[in-house]
Amino acid sequence: MRIGILTSGGDAPGLNAVIRAAVLKGQTLNGQEFVGFKNGWKGVIEEDLIPLGRHEVRGISKQGGTILGTSRTNPFEGNGGPDRIREVMARNEIESIIVIGGEGTLAAAKRLSDEGLPLVGVPKTIDNDISATDYTFGFDTAVQIATDSMDRLRTTGDSHGRCMIAEVMGRHVGWIALHSGMAAGAHAILIPEQKTSMDQIIEWVTSAHDRGRAPLIVVSEGFELDTMDDPHHERGLDAFGRPRLGGIGEKLAPVIEERTGIETRATTLGHIQRGGTPTSYDRVLATRLGMAVLDLALDKQWGQMVALHGTDIVTVGFEEALGNLKTVPQARYDEARILFG
């Protein structure tokens, strides 16, 4: 019997390292055969799969994205759900599926697993918002890219005496903004966990400017001013019915410029944060998770996924990944806030 692997949801640097590690360990230790489903659950539903062997995974851990392709296809919602997946697995002699994905994907995996499907999982997201694991691969790369970008934005800020705003991803949590903002020495870090007034932002910008600095602000896409009821979004909903966030930086810039008289520009980093080569930290984490999830599949520990606790790879149930977003604790924000302005 073969093991299937799929990557679902947004791509994250390190996905290929997970795939490579699982395949190489399985082949080396057990002569295990693998297949890869193309484009997440879509490939399962459409029976679109490819053989995955040593040759296919050669040298891929340094490649960003996923060699299998991904999508945000929901396996339920008119796509056949567990019956269709069971049928495809049986016809292709697939005993279990390793599901690599974020919260939406793991929620679907939990539902399918409750219906008796033999699934094991690996948490994945650049947002680092899954509570069952201390870090997800992809996060470190996204933070590094955001930090490098802010270092570059400072060049223009310093040269023109402008206020520069970098908008980063992260959905409803501020981890990417917090870490990249601290690393880049931003004068304000605006995150979804901390509603903030425009007056406060102006105070930080003015204070930095008065000291002769070009103010640098990092804002998370899910940030809300204290006057807002929802995060800014203008691009509809994704396949799981969640709003596609983005654009808050461009909303803040003209207000800051008008109120301070400081020329202000916003840059949305967007998918650049998910692109390119994974950092070595992400490659190592992804490789360890890939090897560990293979053990879960061989041990038939259905409904379980691998996670990082401290420096150890542990096993947790799908349900532990869900419902509870891992938000930035107050203490982490407070320590960063001391240096704002």
275-309 burial, b at 16+ Cβ within 10 Å, e below that, comes to eeebbebbbbbbbbbbbbbbbbbbeebbbbbbbbe
CB of 187 to ligand F6P, least distance (A): 23
Amino acid present at 315: T
**Beta carbon nearer to ligand F6P, 43 or 231:** 231
CB of 221 to ligand F6P, least distance (A): 6
What are 7's strand-pairing partners?
Answer: 100
CB of 66 to ligand F6P, least distance (A): 13
Q: CB-based contacts of 229: which residues, under 8 Å, 6+ apart?
A: none
**Beta carbon nearer to ligand F6P, 43 or 138:** 138
Task: Specify the DSSP element, H or E, that contains 307.
Answer: strand 304-309
Retrieve residue 264's tokens. 């202000």
**Beta carbon nearer to ligand F6P, 44 or 145:** 145
Decide the pairing of beta strands 216-220 and 188-190.
parallel
Decide the pairing of beta strands 304-309 and 312-317.
antiparallel
**Beta carbon nearer to ligand F6P, 118 or 170:** 170
Q: Name the residue with the smallest CB distance to ligand F6P.
A: 169
**Beta carbon nearer to ligand F6P, 242 or 259:** 242
Which residues in this chain contact ligand F6P in the complex, by CB under 6 A? 10, 102, 125-127, 169-171, 221, 238, 244-245, 274
The string of DSSP letters for 9-48 reads SS--TTHHHHHHHHHHHHHHHH---EEEETTTHHHHHTT-
Q: What is the DSSP letter of 111?
A: H
Asked if 11 is an active-site residue, the reply is: no
User: Considering 127, 129, 140, 282, which one is annotated as catalytic?
Assistant: 127
CB of 243 to ligand F6P, least distance (A): 9
CB of 137 to ligand F6P, least distance (A): 13
As annotated, the active-site residues are 127
